[in-house]
Amino acid sequence: MSNPLVRSMAGTGKGNKPDMTEAKTPILEARNVYMAFGGVDVLKGINFMIYPGEVHGLVGENGAGKSTLAKIFAGVHQPRAGSLWLKGQQVHIHDPGTAVAMGIALIHQEPLTFPELDVAENIFIGRQPIRKGFPPGVDWAVMYQRSDELLKELGVDLSPKAKVRGLSIANQQMVEMAGALSQDAKILMMDEPTAALTPNEVADLFAIIRRLREQGTAIVFISHRLEEVFEISDRITVLRDGEVVGECDPRGTQVEEVIRMMVGRPLSALFDKGENHRAGKPMLEVSGLSRMMKFEDISFTVHAGEIAGVAGLVGSGRTDVARALFGALDIDKGTIKVDGEEVRFKHPRDALAKGVIYLPEDRQHNALLMPMSVSENMTLAVLEKLAPAGWLRERLERTVTQEYIDKLRIVLRQMTQSVRELSGGNQQKVVLGKWLLTRPKVMILDEPTRGIDIGAKSEVHRLMGELAAQGMAILMISSELPEILAMSDRIIVMREGRISATFDRSEATAEKVMAAAVGQVLEGA
């Protein structure tokens, strides 16, 4: 079934298609680039070429390394190994300024603008036109005029004198684009440029991208929305776990094949929860939950003893739903029932009182007091119980902390050690312990194993399995498909604020889940 136009890396060498772009020198090239953050390999020997006058789609799961690669080209990160080549010359891109000078521009998902400054300055910051005559200085008149020309060229109706604060995301993006044009960028990298745009705005953006391509600009288009990538790209590169796993021509390739390349990875290293008999009663029932601009009509049920996995791409509204369930985000419509009782949480402590706990994705900022000790962190949520007369009973604190340190097998020197010194996996266990002390009924885990090593990961997975077996209802949000597939009894897939599919454990496959997450329907898969 493999398409002849799809080249997997196994049989690379020369392309079997005499493409005219093959003959040209790439304008920008990464050779064997390695990158690691905090001991985790993010890019593992990437080879990537960008040609002038070409839109190069870059796709992959969350965390596949797409944005990291773009940031290396933009001078934000320095690769650990490997080399970068500009027009056949090896270059070192020390900092963003160097990249700008080389004509490399990176446009972010969230436009990086200066809200207090006007449109013209946002376009020209750092490169304002300078008047030649007397008195010298920034020539505002010329800057406004050239901004106006650039905006007209992009076909945007914006005043150069308007402050950027208050512009729509689409318009802010256009301001950034104009900035890239003003510096004569030859390589334009766009990281999820359509994530915050309406369909009409996307169409406008694509018209501009096509015009730039005709003028010979090389464009890297990073997106989760595969249909858009297929529409705009001349060539698509697929990344998975920091490696290039394939390259294809969108005109002769099926979307499903790209999806397969994105997800196909061995699942062996993961803990497998195994089958489960859904015996318990419904603990968390959500129906018709809506919040304007965030999510709409979310309904599902999690039973006692069950792990429900929530899959979906970043920005699909998963975390917002979790925050709403925990009382950290108001809802417009819908009902939430916990253990059969209808609840309306106004504040996270209301949720806590009803036995609903939430482990946020970013534990460093949201869940742990890094400089404080393990025991102080663990008992934070139950301080009232440990201090019956308003005075903390330290011996009791030590006893309960030790109990959970043993239960969770937290590795540490002593419980007075500061949390900062623990490894990521043990930190996550401290968070878990802190919430387990409150004796919850429903646990919402947001990316429970992000950024922790494989051993700690399976340890956290084992704990989740044990907790479920003891009757806990668990809702697990994860960007890692293998984790979702291995741990979930049921899989809820979200896309653009809605539930796009629900699968039982037995019927779920990586391809089906990914297809539902990116909005593709697989035929006969």
The contact set with another protein (CB under 8 A) reads 74, 76, 95-101, 106, 112-117, 121, 125-126, 128, 130, 135-138, 157, 159, 162-163, 165-168, 170-171, 179, 198-201
Q: What is the largest CA-CA distance in the chain?
A: 84
- 185-to-11, 96, 119, 422 alpha-carbon distances in Å: 34, 13, 19, 45
Q: At its nearest, how many Å lie between another protein and the CB of residue 296?
A: 17
Adjacency order of strands within the sheet including 333-338:
295-303, 282-291, 333-338, 341-343
Placement of tokens 């899959």 in the chain: 311
Nearer to another protein, 138 or 353 (CB): 138
The smaller minimum CB distance to another protein, of residues 13 and 136, is found at: 136
Q: Residue 162 or residue 412: which is nearer to another protein going by CB? A: 162
Supply the minimum distance, in Å, between the C-beta of residue 37 and another protein. 17
All residues at 6 or more sequence positions from 102 whose CB lies less than 8 Å from its CB, including other chains: 86, 91, 93
> How far apart are CB 402 and another protein at their closest, in Å?
38
| Residue ranges with strand state E in 110-196 | 130-131, 137-138, 187-191
165 versus 333: smaller Cβ distance to another protein: 165
Long-range contacts of 199-205 (CB under 8 A, 24+ apart): 201/170, 202/228, 204/155, 204/170, 205/170, 205/173
* Beta carbon nearer to another protein, 125 or 279: 125
> What is the closest distance, in whole angstroms, from the C-beta atom of residue 107 to another protein in the complex?
10
Rounded-to-integer distance, Cα 263 and Cα 160, Å: 45
Write the burial class of residue 196 (CB in 10 Å: 0-12 exposed, 13-18 middle, 19+ buried).
middle
Min separation Cβ 290 and another protein, Å: 17
Cross-strand partners of 58: 222, 237
Helical segments of 409-500, H only: 424-436, 454-469, 481-487
CA dist 93 → 43, 72, 80, 418 (Å)? 17, 8, 13, 38
Q: Smallest gap, in angstroms, from Cβ of residue 139 to another protein? A: 9
Q: Which is nearer to another protein, 166 or 340 (CB)?
A: 166
Q: Cα(227)–Cα(236) distance, rounded to whole angstroms? A: 12
Cβ atoms of 330 and 338 within 8 Å: the answer is no
Judged by CB, which is closer to another protein: 98, or 502? 98
Q: How far is the CB of 55 from another protein (least distance, A)?
A: 22
- Nearest distance in Å: CB 131, another protein: 8
Distance linking the first and last C-alpha atoms of the chain: 12
CB contact at 8 A, 117 and 164: yes
> Judged by CB, which is closer to another protein: 140, or 300?
140
User: How far apart are the C-alpha atoms of 135 and 512, rounded to whole Å?
Assistant: 66
Instruction: Report, in Å, the least distance between residue 326 CB and another protein.
Output: 23
Nearer to another protein, 137 or 266 (CB): 137
C-alpha dihedral sign at 49, 86, 98, 170: negative
Strand partners, 91: 84
- Reading the block at residue 154, the tokens are 């992009």
CB of 54 to another protein, least distance (A): 24
Cβ 150 to another protein shortest distance, Å: 16
List of E strands, 355-467:
356-359, 442-446
Compare residues 97 and 455 and give the one whose CB is closer to another protein. Answer: 97
For residue 235, how many other CB atoms are within 10 A of its CB? 19
CB of 524 to another protein, least distance (A): 34
Query: Residue 201 or 361: which CB sits closer to another protein?
Result: 201
Distance CA 115, CA 97 (A): 21
Closest to another protein by CB, 203 vs 267, is 203
